[in-house]
Amino acid sequence: MLKIVKTIFLRNWGLKLFSFILALILWLTLIPEEKMYSEKTLVIPLTLNNIPSRMELTERVQPQINVTLIAPNRLLPQITEATVHAVLDLSNASVEQTAYPINRNMVSIPAGTEIKELYPSQVNIELEYIKEVILKVEPTLIGALKEGFELVNIEVSPSEVSIRGPESKVPDKAVVKTTPIDISKLTQSEEIEAELILPNPDVRLSGRNTKVTIRILIQGKAEESEETKPDETVGE
């Protein structure tokens, strides 16, 4: 019996191997493309929606997730970062919660594709209540006035601004600086606009105005001498 089986398989083995390879090529060629599936993995940003109005993220780094999809080969070109989206709804979030689960319902994918795997299964997001404070604006002057001139006064308008941000990031005692103002070339009083520099990058101005007007009052020392010189005609 064994001899018969060997004879069947080994007789004309070259022709049989050729027939098998030819059949495999024909099968791969003629099989409908929609029945041939492949996998594709994307790294996509996780969009955070509906953050409660009284809260704010402590870190502004957008989380990312890995999505592995299975789809017919003809659909693979349609699977891109532009067609696959992940959204986390934070409308019920609280400052006490930091871990948020990721599930398939959060991911929008092209029709005809299927999610095989999501990673990670959860993301860490920290929220804090928003804090707002009013801080003094302090102009930053650089350089020195030319000889014969002196600085009489500096006026800033507005002299205070309101800033806001996550509670832990908003300082109670700090000042808002301005971009540097070079006074070395000034020979008369001037009004100069300057940008505001906030205490740290995690806070922002409450209003839309990002500039202040600085009035620099300069006086010549000779002028002061003339003004303070006693009137010699008095008492004559």
Closest CA to 203 of 142, 144, 141, 130: 130
Do residue 71 and residue 115 come from a single domain? yes
**Confidence (pTM):** 0.69
Q: What is the Cα–Cα distance from 108 to 45, expressed in whole angstroms?
A: 12
Q: What percent of the chain has pLDDT over 70?
A: 80
User: Which tens digits make up the pLDDT trace of 194-220?
Assistant: 999 999 999 999 988 899 999 999 998
Mean pLDDT value across the chain: 86
Last residue of a domain, one of 90, 105, 125: 125
Do the domain assignments include residue 21?
A: no
Residue pLDDT, tens place only, 56-95: 999 878 899 999 999 988 889 999 999 999 999 999 999 9
- Domain end among 109, 125, 141: 125
Note whether 118 and 152 are same-domain residues.
no
Same domain? 157 vs 74: no
Residue 218's domain comprises 130-227
pLDDT at residue 233 greater than cutoff 50? no
Better-scored residue on pLDDT, 4 or 5: 4
Residue 235 lies in a domain: no
- Report the domain count for the chain: 2
Q: Which of 125, 142, 173 is the last residue of a domain?
A: 125
**Residue 163 is assigned to a structural domain of this protein:** yes
Considering the domain architecture, whether residues 56 and 141 belong to the same structural domain is answered as no
**Mean pLDDT, residues 136-143:** 94
What number is the average pLDDT over the span 5-10? 56
Asked whether residue 142 falls in the same domain as residue 212, the answer is: yes
**pLDDT-derived band of residue 234, with 50, 70 and 90 as boundaries?**
very low
pLDDT digits (tens, 9 = 90+) for 25-62: 666 565 555 567 899 999 999 999 999 999 999 987 88
**Residues contacting 2, CB < 8 A, separation 6+:** none
Residue 14 lies in a domain: no
Cα 181 to Cα 57, 79, 157, 219, distances in angstroms: 34, 52, 15, 18
* 74 lies in the same domain as 162: no
The span from the CA of 224 to the CA of 219, in Å, is 7
pLDDT of residue 30: 54
